[in-house]
Structure 1
Amino acid sequence: MTSKATHIQAGYIALNDAAPLIIARECGFAEAEGIDLHLHKETSWATLRDKLAIGLFDVAHLLAPISVAASCKLFPLPLDIVVPMALGLGGNMVTMARSIWDGHAPASGPVSFDAGAAGARLKAMIKDRRARGNPKLRLGAVHPYSAHNYELRYWLAGCGIDPDQDTDIVFLPPSTMPDALRSGALDAFCVGEPWNSAAILDGDGVLLTTKGHIWQNSPDKVLGVRRSFALDQQEAHYALLRALYKAAEWIESPANKEELCRILSAPGYIGLSETRLKPGFNGAIKTGLTDPERLNMPDFYLPLSRAALFPKESHALWFYSQMVRWGHVELSDDHIARVRASCHPEMLRAALAPLDIALPDTQQDILSAQDIQSPIASDQGLGSLGPDVFFDRIPFDPDALAAYVAGQRVSKN
C-alpha cells in the first residue's frame, strides 16, 4: 500500500452478509484499489446508524429499510446517505424455540418449509395457545426498520396472523437472538445468518421458514455511504465499490468457502465456529428436526449472482410500502420521490465501468412478476435476474404503490 492510500472507516454488524467488507480488507481487494479500509464491529443497528450519521463512519453495512427511513427523515439525527450498492440477496431465516415447537409439533411426516405451509402451522399454534390461555408468542426482529420486520409482518399477515394483535414483535441486536431464545425471552426470531444456525446447532431452535421462501431473491442489506464522502471523495468511493465487487465475486466461488469461514470465525469479525458459519454460505441448512434434517437451498444467500449488488428502486419502494402499511410513515409523493432518489446505480455503473460488468438496464420493475431467471444483456458479470416471487404471488408495481398499500390487509383465509 502506498502512502497515498485513502483511509475509509466502515461500520458493520457481525453477520454473514458483512463478508464483502471483511473480505475486501482481508484478501487485499481494498488495498489493491488504494484503500486502507478500517472496519469497526458494532452490536446494534441503532448504534451503527448513529455513528454513520455523526461521521464516525464513512460507509456502513446497513439494513436496507434504514436507508428508506433516512430518506423520509424518520430519525432524530439526520442521516444523509446514498445507496450505490446492495450487499447481497437472501440470508435470513425464521427460527422457533424448540420448547415451543415441541409443544405443537406435527404428529408425523416430513415438515415443509414452504412459507404458506409454515404460516398455516404457526396460525394453528397461535389458535391452540389462545385456547390454552397461553400468552402471545414473542417474536424477535433486529430493528423496526429492517427487512426482517417487514418480511415477517408480510408473511404473518398473508397467513391470517395479525402481527400486532396475535403476536408481540420486539427488537434485539442480531447476536443476542440465540441467547434470548434459549432463555425464553423470545419464542421465535427472524435474523440473518449465522445466528439461526447457532441456535439450531446448539439444540435450542427449529427452522420455520426462510427469507427466500417468503420472497425469492429478496434484498436485505445495502452499503450506506455518507453523501459528503461519496461526492467529495468520488475516486476513493468508486475504488471501494470495485473492491467490494471483487470481494463478492471471491465469496461466491465454492472454492473459497472454507477460507471464507475461517476468516469470519476470528473473534474480531463474527467470532463463531466455522461449523456455524458454513450453512449460511453453502445453503446446507440444518433444521433442528429429524425429517428433514437438512434443507438444501443453494441460493439461500447470493453475494453477487442475479444482480445481488444492484440497488433497485423497486426494492426500496416495496419497503416503503410496508412502512406505510403498518403506520410507520405517511404515504406522500414527497416521500416516494425521496426514496427513489436514495438509490444510486449510476455510481455503481461508473465504478465498475473499468471491469466491463453487465448491470440491469433498469432499477425499477414489477416485483413478483418473474418466475424464472432472465438474462441481463451480457453473459459477463452479474448474468441474470430473478426469480423474485412473493409467497402469495401478489405483484408489486412501484408505479401503483398507493393502490398496492390500499389492497393489503391481514388475510383471514
Structure 2
Amino acid sequence: MSTRLRIGFIPLVDAAALIVAVDKGFCAAEGLDVELVREISWANVRDKLNIGMFDAAHILAPIAIASSLGIGHVKVPIVSAFGLGINGNAITVSPDLYAAIKAAADGDLLDPLVTARALARVIAERKQKALEPLTFGMTFPFSTHNYDLRFWMAAGGVDPDEDVRLVVLPPPFMVDSLANKHLDGFCVGAPWNSVAIDLGIGHVLHFTSELLQRVAEKLLAVRAPWAAENPDVMMALVRAHARAADYIEDLGNRDEVAALLTAPGRIEVTPELILRTLDGRMRVAPDGTVRPSDRYLLVGRDGAARPDPVQAAWFYAQMVRWGQAPLSNDLLAAAKAVFRPDLYDAALGPTAPPPVSEPADGIGAFTGPAFDPDDIAGYLAACRRPG
C-alpha cells in the first residue's frame, strides 16, 4: 500500500530532483504516492508546510532555519535530509544600471569587488542628484537571494539597509517588475534571469556562485516531529530523490529532464532555458553573450545533496549580521540541527566527501575572512558591516 504525500514547490530549476523523482516514478518505486503542488510564493510554501497542508516542501534553506528558530514567524522546527541544489542564482540588472556600473567600474566587470565598488559610486552620484534609491528584488527576507545581494553590496561599501531598497517579490514576478521599471535589478534563481535576458531587458552581472562558491539553495524539508514519526518514509524520500539527482546529472538524460521540467503544472518555460541552466551555459546579455560555469547549479554532484551543517551556520551568521537574529550558541546549534546528514547517510550509506576542488571552509566567498562555523562572533567582527 502506497503512502500518500503532498509536497509543495516553486517553479524553479532547482526543483528538478523533486519533479523528476515523481514524474520518472522513483517515488512510486519507494512506495510513495506523491502529489506535487505548484505554489507562487515562499510564504505560501512555508505556511502550508508548517500547518501540515504539505508533508514536505521544496524550500529556501534560510526559511527552514528561520522557522526552526521562530524568527519572523511562528516557531516550527524543520529538518532536511536532502539538499535539492547548491548555488543556482544570479544578479540581473537593467540595461540602464548595467551601463552606469560599467561607466563607474575601475577594473574587470567579472570581478564582484569591482562591480560592488562601482555600484557604490553610482549610488553616491544618485544621492548628489537627489534621485530615488535603486530598488532590487529578492524572493524573501530569509533567502539566499537576500544574503547574496547584501554580501556583494557590503563588499563595495554599500549599506543595503540605507543606500538601496530591497523588496520581496515571488520569483515569477521578477521579470515583469524589471520590464516595468519597478526594479533596477534582482537576484533570483533559474530560469528567471534567462527569461529577462532573452527579452532584452536585463544583463546578468554575476552568478552567485561567483560571489560564494558553495551555498545551499533549496532543501527538501519536513517538520521535525513528522520526520521522527515517519522514519521509513523519510528514508524512502531520500532514496527516491538521490536517484532523481543522479538521473539529472547524467548528461545523456538532459533532454528528457528538460521535457519533464517544462511540462504543464511544472515550470512551464522552454526546454532550452532548462538545458542552459543544467549545462551551466548561461546567456548573460541581450546580444547573446554566453558565460559558462561548471558550478552554476549543483543538483547532485560533488556532494551537493548531502546536507552540511556548515551551510546552516553560515545562514545563521547572515541573520545575525543583518539584524534578523541575536547571537547565541543555542540558536547556532538549533540552526545546524536543521541540516541532517545523519538521516541522509542512514538512507544511502557512507558517501564520498566533496572533492578537494570545493572550498576549504565550505563556502568560498570572493572576499572577506574564511568562514568558521564555530566562531560566528569572530567571523562577523572580521566582516564588519558597512557604514
- Shorter-chain TM-score bucket reads over 0.9
1:222-237 matched pairs, under 5 angstroms: 222-237=219-234
Letter in 2 for 1:286: R
SS in 2 for 1:277: helix
Pairing 1:328-407 to 2, within 5 Å after superposition: 328-353=324-349, 358-360=351-353, 372-373=356-357, 388-407=363-382
Q: Distance in 2 between matches of 1:158 and 1:115?
A: 9
Cα–Cα, structure 1 residues 83 and 387, in superposed 2: closer, same or farther, change >3 Å? closer
Hey, what does 1:54 align to over in structure 2? 51
Per the normalisation by structure 2, the TM-score is 0.94
Q: How does 1:83-162 map to 2 (within 5 A)?
A: 83-102=80-99, 105-106=102-103, 112-162=109-159
In the alignment, which of 46, 60, 63 is matched to residue 63 of structure 1? Answer: 60
**Alignment of 1:170 onto 2:167:** yes
Query: Distance in 1 between the 2:318 and 2:333 partners?
Result: 16
How far has the Cα of 1:107 moved from its partner? 9.5
Deviation at 1:19, TM superposition (A): 0.6
Does the CA contact (< 8 Å) of 2:310 and 2:362 recur in 1?
Answer: no
Tell me the CA shift for residue 77 of structure 1: 3.1
Q: Offset of 1:211 from its aligned partner?
A: 0.9
| 2:186 alignment partner, SS class | strand
Q: 1:321 to 1:387 in 2, by over 3 A?
A: closer
3-state SS, counterpart of residue 375 of structure 2:
helix
Q: Indicate whether 1:312 and 2:308 are aligned.
A: yes
Question: Is residue 185 from structure 1 mapped to residue 182 from structure 2 by the alignment?
Answer: yes
2:273 is matched with 276
Q: What SS does the corresponding residue of 1:61 show, helix, strand or coil?
A: strand
1:20 to 17, 21, 33: 17
Match of 1:409 in 2: 384
- Asked whether the 8 Å contact 1:136–1:168 carries over to 2, the reply is yes
Distance 1:194 1:152, change over 3 A: same
8 Å Cα contact 1:94/1:207 also seen in 2: yes
The alpha-carbon deviation at position 68 of structure 1 amounts to 1.3
Q: Determine if contact 1:11/1:41 at 8 Å carries over to the other structure.
A: yes
Amino acid at match of 1:287: V
> Is the contact made by 1:87 and 1:221 (CA closer than 8 Å) also made in structure 2?
yes
| Corresponding residue of 1:380 | none
Displacement after TM superposition at 1:75 (Å): 4.3
The offset of 1:104, in angstroms, is 5.1
- Structure 1, unaligned runs of 5 or more: 362-369, 375-383
| Cα deviation 1:37-57 (Å, max 9, x = unaligned) | 110011000011000011011
Q: Secondary structure at the match of 1:85?
A: strand
Percent of residue pairs identical: 36
Q: Which of 319, 326, 330 is the matching residue for 2:322?
A: 326
Q: How far has the Cα of 1:403 moved from its partner?
A: 1.6
SS in 2 for 1:310: coil
Instruction: Compute the RMSD of aligned alpha carbons.
Output: 2.3
Offset of 1:78 from its aligned partner? 3.2
Q: Deviations over 1:341-372 (max 9, x none)?
A: 2221111111112xxx51449xxxxxxxx9x5
Supply the distance in 2 between the matched residues of 1:182 and 1:176 (Cα, whole angstroms): 10
More displaced stretch, 93-102 vs 151-160: 93-102
Figure out how many residues of one structure are paired with residues of the other and give that number: 387
Contact 1:52 1:79 in 2 (8 A): no
| Distance apart, 1:130 and its partner CA | 2.6
Q: What is the rounded CA distance, in whole Å, between the counterparts of 1:98 and 1:147 in structure 2?
A: 24
1:245-291 Cα deviation digits (max 9, x unpaired): 1101111111122221111112300111123322211111111155x
The equivalent of 1:379 in structure 2 is: none
Residue 369 of structure 2 contacts residue 379 of structure 2 at CA under 8 Å; is this kept in 1?
no
Match in the other structure for 1:378: none
Q: Could you tell me the TM-score, scaled by structure 1's length? A: 0.88
Counterpart residue type for residue 409 of structure 1:
R
Are 2:81 and 2:344, in contact at CA under 8 Å, matched by a contact in 1? Answer: yes
What is the SS of the residue equivalent to 1:77? Answer: coil
Separation in structure 1 between the aligned mates of residue 247 and residue 114 of structure 2, nearest angstrom:
36
CA distance in 1, matches of 2:107, 2:291: 12
Q: For 1:244 and 1:108, locate their aligned partners in 2 and report how far apart those are by CA, in whole Å.
A: 44
User: Can you list the C-alpha shifts for 1:208-250, whole angstroms capped at 9, x where unaligned?
Assistant: 1111111002211111112232122211211111010110111
The answer to whether the Cα contact below 8 Å between 1:65 and 1:319 also exists between their aligned partners in 2 is yes
